[in-house]
């Protein structure tokens, strides 16, 4: 029988996809990231900036998500400026481990968040995937702070 889904997962700061992970001066936890919809032959894909704010216990309290447009038409300078602006909006931060609850929400007709993926058979376990884009995937042990790409 599959185990229960995680109540919280740990995410450690790193220099890759978890570059903007930590705490604000008021103790909230944050994760600033760049989700995307991959380009296919049928569409140009999309780029986003997402700032997720969590309370001290790891529950989502706010999501600020910006649609940057198609992947092919991305203005990289504008994207960097907006990312810097979003980080400045939450004030001084420390880059450190966070422990947050999985969540999902809909924006721009797309599912965003740290989305639970149930086991697909009796031998596989739960996953938590950063969506859209599934560029970070977490699995047991949930307190490891590590992810697959």
Is 146 within the bounds of a domain? no
pLDDT tens-digit profile of 79-131? 999 999 999 999 999 999 999 999 999 999 999 999 999 988 766 789 999 99
Q: How much is the pLDDT for 122?
A: 63
Q: How much is the pLDDT for 149?
A: 87
Structural domain range at position 123? 9-138
Is 43 within the bounds of a domain? yes
Is 4 within the bounds of a domain? no
Is 14 within the bounds of a domain? yes
Three-state SS for 93? strand
Is 1 within the bounds of a domain? no
Q: How much is the pLDDT for 1?
A: 43
Report the C-alpha gap between 25 and 96 in whole angstroms. Answer: 12
- Number of domains observed in the structure of the chain: 1
Is 104 within the bounds of a domain? yes
Is 147 within the bounds of a domain? no
Where are the alpha helices (H) located in 33-137, listed in sequence order?
Answer: 76-89
């Amino acid at each position: 029988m599959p185990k229960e889904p995680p109540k919280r997962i740990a995410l450690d700061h790193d220099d890759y996809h978890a570059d903007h992970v930590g705490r604000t001066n008021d103790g909230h936890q944050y994760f600033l990231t760049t989700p995307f919809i991959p380009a296919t032959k049928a569409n140009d894909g999309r780029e986003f900036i997402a700032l997720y704010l969590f309370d001290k216990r790891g529950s989502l309290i706010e999501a600020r998500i910006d649609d940057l447009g198609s992947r092919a038409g991305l203005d990289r300078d504008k994207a960097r400026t907006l990312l810097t602006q979003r980080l400045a909006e939450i004030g001084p931060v420390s880059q450190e481990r966070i422990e947050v609850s999985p969540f999902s929400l809909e924006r721009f007709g797309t599912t965003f968040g740290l989305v639970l993926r149930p086991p697909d058979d009796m031998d596989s376990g739960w996953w938590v995937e950063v969506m859209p884009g599934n560029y970070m995937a977490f699995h047991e042990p949930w307190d490891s702070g590590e992810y697959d790409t």
